[in-house]
A and B are shown apart, each in its own frame.
Chain A
Amino acid sequence: DAGVIQSPRHEVTEMGQEVTLRCKPISGHNSLFWYRQTMMRGLELLIYFNNNVPIDDSGMPEDRFSAKMPNASFSTLKIQPSEPRDSAVYFCASSPDSVDNEQFFGPGTRLTVL
C-alpha cells in the first residue's frame, strides 16, 4: 500500500486566493482526519470523518475552511479566501475501524500564503 497520499506537497499562494488540499486515505480505512501544524499552536485537529460522514468539525478555525469526503478514497480541505495566518503544514491521516485507532499520517502539504 502506498500509504496516505496528499497533494500538493507544497503550495504558495497569495492572500485572498482559494486553496484546495487533497487526500487519499489508505484503502479500507474508515476514519480520516485533517490536522494543521504550526510552531505556535502545535498539531491541531481540524475535522474528522468516519465512513465519509463528518463527525467533529469543532477544530475548523472559521467559515473560510471547509472539508468534504465525497467517497471513501478521497477528501478535500478548502480555504477560501486564504490569509497569511493560514500558513502551516496540513496533514491528513487515516485510521482503520479498530479498537486501537492507530493513525497513519500522510507527508503533509506545506502551505504558504503571502
Chain B
Amino acid sequence: SQQGEEDPQALSIQEGENATMNCSYKTSINNLQWYRQNSGRGLVHLILIRSNEREKHSGRLRVTLDTSKKSSSLLITASRAADTASYFCATARRGNQGGKLIFGQGTELSVKP
C-alpha cells in the first residue's frame, strides 16, 4: 500500500515565491527522503531527515518532520523557474531490509518566470 502521500498534487507559483509541499505516511520510519524529478529524467535525491530530527536545511530547502503526525513538509524558498519539477517523498520503514523505500505519488511544481 502507498506509504507516502503528497499534497498538493500540483502547485503553480511565481518565481521568487516560496513553495511548500507536504507528505504523510502510515508506519514507523527510519528516515524520510525527498527526491526531485525533472521531466523525462530519473529521480535525484535532495535531502534526508532521520526520525529523531525535526528540521533540516540544505541551501534553499527546508524539511520538517513530525513523527507524531506522521507528516513532513518540504519548503523551497525564493523559487526559480529551474525548480519546476516533480517532487517525491520516500520513507524507509523501521526494520526494512536492503534499503527499500516507499515513494509517494509526487507533487508537480510549476514555477512561472
Identify which of A95, A97, A101, A105 gathers the most chain B CB atoms within 10 Å of its CB.
A101
Give bound CA distance, A97 to B104, whole Å. Answer: 23
Q: Are A106 and B42 in contact (CB under 8 A)?
A: yes
Give bound CA distance, A51 to B104, whole Å. Answer: 26
A18 interface residue (CB < 8 Å to B):
no
Q: Are A104 and B106 in contact (CB under 8 A)?
A: no
B68 interface residue (CB < 8 Å to A):
no
B77-96 interface code vs A (CB 8 A; 1 in, 0 out): 00000000000101010000
A100 interface residue (CB < 8 Å to B):
yes
Q: Are A105 and B97 in contact (CB under 8 A)?
A: no
Give bound CA distance, A99 to B30, whole Å. Answer: 9
Take A42-B105, A42-B106 as given contacts and tell me if A103 and B45 are in contact as well, using a CB distance cutoff of 8 Å. Answer: yes
Interface members, chain B 47-72 (any A CB < 8 Å): 48, 50
Q: Are B98 and A103 in contact (CB under 8 A)?
A: no
Contact pick for A107, options B31, B42, B48, B92, CB 8 Å: B42
A10-32 interface code vs B (CB 8 A; 1 in, 0 out): 00000000000000000000110
A-B contacts, 13 listed (Cβ < 8 Å): A31-B99, A43-B88, A45-B100, A45-B103, A48-B100, A55-B100, A56-B97, A56-B98, A97-B99, A100-B92, A101-B100, A107-B42, A108-B41
Other A-B pairs beyond A31-B99, A42-B103, 11, CB < 8 Å: A30-B98, A48-B98, A50-B98, A93-B42, A101-B31, A101-B92, A101-B101, A102-B33, A103-B90, A105-B43, A107-B41
